[in-house]
Amino acid sequence: MATEPGPVAGPLAVLLDALDLETIDRNLFRGKTPPTRLQRIFGGQVAAQALVAAHRTVPDKTVHSLHAYFLRAGDPAAPVVYEVDPIRDGRSYATRRVVGLQDGRAIFNLQASFKLPEPGYDRQVPFPEDAADPASLPNWTGFGFDDPEKDEEALPPPSSPFELRMAPPAGGYARLLWFRTLGALPEDPTLHACVAAYASDLTLLSVPLETFAREAAAAGRSMEPPAFVASLDHAMWFHRPFRVDRWMLYAQSSPTSGDGRGLCLGHMFGADGTLGITVVQEGAIRPPRPGDAVRG
């Protein structure tokens, strides 16, 4: 019989503590934000906490998809109250709606669907076989980890709960990011799904900007830094079992951008090539306008 891992410490312990929501009442939970220098709550944290709240009300099924909207910037100095609406409980599927509230106002809205396992027609997109092995790559601490005020997509300081290694683009993806938690986790698929939801917001929204800048440079055009960047909506589909305490490859691309928005696509593969999760996010990415204070 597999043994449970020992106690975790450091940034991973801080993350797990943040995901251990306080139960206020039936279908009502409260989550705290770890100390941070960021001006707003990291989006992945709100998504993960909302998923924890939804899962608390569905004990017999596992999540297979979620769809969420970031409505307002969250204040990291105040707790977030998560109100769960148990929309439907069926034999195979269950649906929950979760609203994250601060000061009586909605800052986040999530709808998640849960199901029992069953057989199906199994296929997936291919793993990028030419992706560099994480053992051959240095640890990566980019995207605001050292200067979180410059990039609010960064994970909360003082450091990330993940080991991160950036690989060169391959397989048609604009970015390949290896990640795993800094310590072993219990064999609880719900916990792994919630931690993956936290990680899913990592670096994703910068991919449309990098893609546009690279294509503009190739065409001999310049690109002004954006004045405003913020996540709008976020969706995840959970396909197969995975473990976030083992290496996962987050393969990211941007199919399109325009109209002040950028679309991001991410596939999370296990190191064995199994596709565990698909992520789609759209963000507001607005170029400078008269009177704007350019971000960054």
What is the phi/psi pair of residue 189, to 5°? -60, -30
Question: Which residue among the candidates 45, 160, 257, 281 is catalytic per the annotation?
Answer: 281
Question: Which residue among the candidates 45, 200, 231, 253 is catalytic per the annotation?
Answer: 231
Is 222 catalytic? The answer is no
Q: Which two tokens stand for residue 201?
A: 């917001």
Is 281 catalytic? The answer is yes
Is 200 catalytic? The answer is no
Contact 186, 163 (CB under 8 A): no
Contact 240, 276 (CB under 8 A): yes
What is the phi/psi pair of residue 119, to 5°? -70, 155
Q: Is 203 left (phi over 0), alpha (psi -120 to 50) or beta?
A: left
Rounded Cα distance, 169 and 130, in Å: 9
Question: Which residue among the candidates 200, 201, 253, 257 is catalytic per the annotation?
Answer: 201
Contact 207, 215 (CB under 8 A): no
Rounded Cα distance, 199 and 203, in Å: 9
- Which residue numbers are catalytic? 201, 231, 281
